[in-house]
Amino acid sequence: MIQKPQIAWGILWAACSTLLGNAAQAIEVKVQPTKVRLGDTVSILVTPDSGETLTEAPTVKVADKTFPAFQVAPNRWRALVPTTPLEKHGRRSLTVTGNQQTRNMLLWVGSRRFPTQRIWLPPKKKITVKDPNYEFRQADKFKAVVTPQKYWNGTFVRPNAGRSSTGYGVRRYYNGVFAKDYYHRGLDYANSTGSPVKAAAAGKVSLIGRESEGFRVHGNVVGLDHGQGVGTIYLHLSRIDVQPGQTVASGQVIGAVGSTGASTGPHLHWGLYVNGQAVDPSPWLWRGFD
Ligand SMILES: [Zn+2]
C-alpha cells in the first residue's frame, strides 16, 4: 500500500487511505515536536483510526533505520527517534506500518547552529592502562540497553544545581583540526566537588565505572536506564552512591560532583541517550516525553 509522501513538518495526522476501502485498517501518525531541529528527540506516536484497535507494535522506520515502538497506553504506540549534530539537516523518509497498512511520509529536520571551541592539547601523557578500550565497551553496552518497561514519568529533573558551563552539541577543533566525529554529548554543570548529583528520572542503574578500574576518560561514572531506549549518564563523579541493578527514584542522590577522568575542573557532565545516540537533554527537562 503505497501513497505519495506527505510533508511531516508540524503535527502530522496521516489521513486514512486504503486501496480496499477498508477504513478498519487505518492508522494515524503524530510527530512531535512540531518543528524538529538537529539534536532533538522525535516522538512518533501511532494510534488506530477512531473506533479501531492497534494491539501489535507498529514498525517505525526513519531513513530505513527501524526504531522500537512501545505501547504507552491502550492503542497508543510510540517510537523515540534521536537526531544529532553529526547528521545533515533536511528531509528523511518516515515509514510506519501497523494494522497491515504502511504510511510513507517525510520527516523534516531543521538545521541548528552549534558553537565551536578551539582546544589546544599538550603532548600526550603516557598513561598505562591494562585495557584502554574497557571503559568504551562498557559505555557502548550502556547505550545499547533497550528495556520495554518505562520507568520514568513526566519531565526530567536537573541533576545538579550548578551553573550550565558547556551546552549540548558544541563542536571542537583540536590543535586547529576540526573533529568531525566530536560533539559535546550532553550538558555540563560547574559545581564544587561533593555537590549532590541526582537521578534525572526514575530508572535502574545500568552502568557503574570507576577511574581506578580503567575509566580514565569518563572517570567515576553512573548510567541509568529509564526504559524504552532512554538512558542518562553522569560523568567525572567524586563519589558513587548506588549499586549496579539498583532502582532509583527521580531526584534521588546517586553520587557527587568531582573531576575524575578527562576533566579540567569539578563539574558534572550529564548525557541523555535515546536508542544509542546522545540527544539534547533540554527538551526532556522543559516539556518531557511522557
Ligand atoms: Zn561535558
pLDDT digits (tens, 9 = 90+) for 28-48: 999 999 999 999 999 999 999
| CA–CA–CA angle 119, 123, 126 (5° rounding) | 125
Report DSSP state, residue 223.
E
Q: Which CATH architecture has domain 125-167+186-286?
A: Distorted Sandwich (2.70)
Domain ranges (residues) in the chain: 6-110, 125-167+186-286
Compute, in angstroms, the gap from residue 79 CA to the centroid of ligand 1. Answer: 27
Residue 187 CA to ligand 1 center (angstroms) comes to 6
**How far is ligand 1, taken at its centre, from the CA of residue 188, in Å?**
5
Q: How far is the CA of 196 from the centre of ligand 1 (A)?
A: 17
Cell of 223: 548510567
pLDDT in tens for each of the 290 residues of the chain? Answer: 444 444 444 344 433 333 444 444 589 999 999 999 999 999 999 999 888 889 899 999 999 899 999 999 999 999 999 999 999 999 999 999 998 899 999 999 999 999 999 988 777 666 667 788 999 999 999 999 999 999 999 999 999 999 999 999 999 998 999 999 999 999 999 999 999 999 999 999 999 999 999 999 999 999 999 999 999 999 999 999 999 999 999 999 999 999 999 998 999 999 999 999 999 999 999 999 98
Give 271 Cα–ligand 1 centroid separation in angstroms. 8
CA pair distance 42, 34, nearest whole angstrom: 9
| Domain 6-110 architecture | Sandwich (2.60)
Residue 51: predicted pLDDT: 82
Distance 264 CA to ligand 1 centre (A): 11
Query: In the prediction, which pLDDT does 131 show?
Result: 83
- CA 265 / ligand 1 centre spacing (Å): 11
pLDDT attached to residue 100: 86
- Give the integer Cα–Cα distance in Å for 161 and 232: 17
**Whole-angstrom Cα distance, residue 213 to residue 227?**
27
CA distance 14 to 103: 8
Share of the chain above pLDDT 70, in %: 89
Q: How far apart are the CA of 270 and the centre of ligand 1, in A? A: 7
Q: Taking ligand 1, which is a single-atom ion, which protein residues have CB atoms under 5 Å away?
A: 188, 269
